[in-house]
Amino acid sequence: MNHLAPISAEVPALVRFAGERAQTRFWEFFVNNIRNAHTRRAYGRAIGDFLAWCERRGLTSIIDIEPLHIGAYVEVLTRSHSAPTAKQRLAAIRMLFDWLVTGQIVPANPAASVRGPKHVVKVGKTPVLDPSEARALFDSIDVSPPVGLRDRALIGLMVYSFARVGAALAMKVENVYVQNRRLWVRLQEKGVTCP
C-alpha cells in the first residue's frame, strides 16, 4: 500500500485500522478526486486535523465516526477559527466521506447531516475603483508604444467587466462580439463560460 502514498505522508491511524481498502480509497481521494494542488493541500490539512482530533477522543477507526463527532468538531472549530475556515474544513470532511461511501468503505456519510456555521458577506473585500480613480489610472498609461495600448485595454476590460486577470488573459479574438449594437465579451471564469 505504501508505494501509492506520497513520500512524506503517512496514513492516519484511524484510516489504517479500517483496513487496506480504506487506505487505498483514502489516498485515491487526494490523488484521483482533487485536481487542484492548493485544494489538495488545504483538504489534506483539514482532514488530518479532524482525524487527529478524533484520535484524541478515543476513536479507533474512521468507520466509527458519527455525525455527533463531526458536529462537536465543527463546534470546537467555530470557537477558534473563522466561519469560512470551519465551513471549508467541514466541506473537506464531507467530500472525503462521500468518497468513502461510493467506495463502500462506510455505509453512510456522517457529515451529510452536520450544518456548518452561518457566514453572510454583506460587504465584499475586493476594492472597486471610483470612476475618477479609473480615469486617473487610464490617463497615467503611456499609449504611444503598443505595450501601453495593450495594458490600457487589459486594465479597461478588468475594470468594466470585473474579470479576473486569468480570465482576461485567456480571451481570444472571437470572445469579443457585437450584439444589438453593443460590444460583448465572453470570459472563461474557472471552467465556466460567462457571456
Amino acid 7: pLDDT: 40
How far is Cα 66 from Cα 68, in angstroms, rounded to an integer?
Answer: 5
Q: How far apart are CA 153 and CA 113, in angstroms?
A: 48
- DSSP, collapsed to helix, strand or coil, labels residue 12 as coil
**C-alpha to C-alpha distance for 186 and 168, rounded to whole angstroms:** 9
What pLDDT, on the 0 to 100 scale, is given for residue 78?
A: 92
pLDDT at 2: 46
Q: What DSSP string runs through 67-135?
A: HHHHHHHHHHHHHHS-HHHHHHHHHHHHHHHHHHHHTTSSSS-TTTTPPPPP---SS-SS----HHHHH
Show the CA angle centred on residue 148, arms to residues 146 and 152, nearest 5°. 120
What's the pLDDT at 170?
86
CA dist 102 and 23 (Å) reads 14
Name the pairing type of β-strands 187-189 and 192-194: antiparallel
pLDDT at 193: 56
In angstroms, the CA 95 to CA 43 distance is 9
**pLDDT score of 194:** 55
In eight-state DSSP terms, residue 5 is: S
Position 73 scores a pLDDT of 95
Mean pLDDT by 10 residues, the chain (195 residues): 50 90 92 88 94 94 94 94 92 95 94 87 76 91 93 90 86 90 84 57
Amino acid 75: pLDDT: 94
- Using alpha carbons only, what angle is made at residue 165 by residues 161 and 167, rounded to the nearest 5 degrees? 70
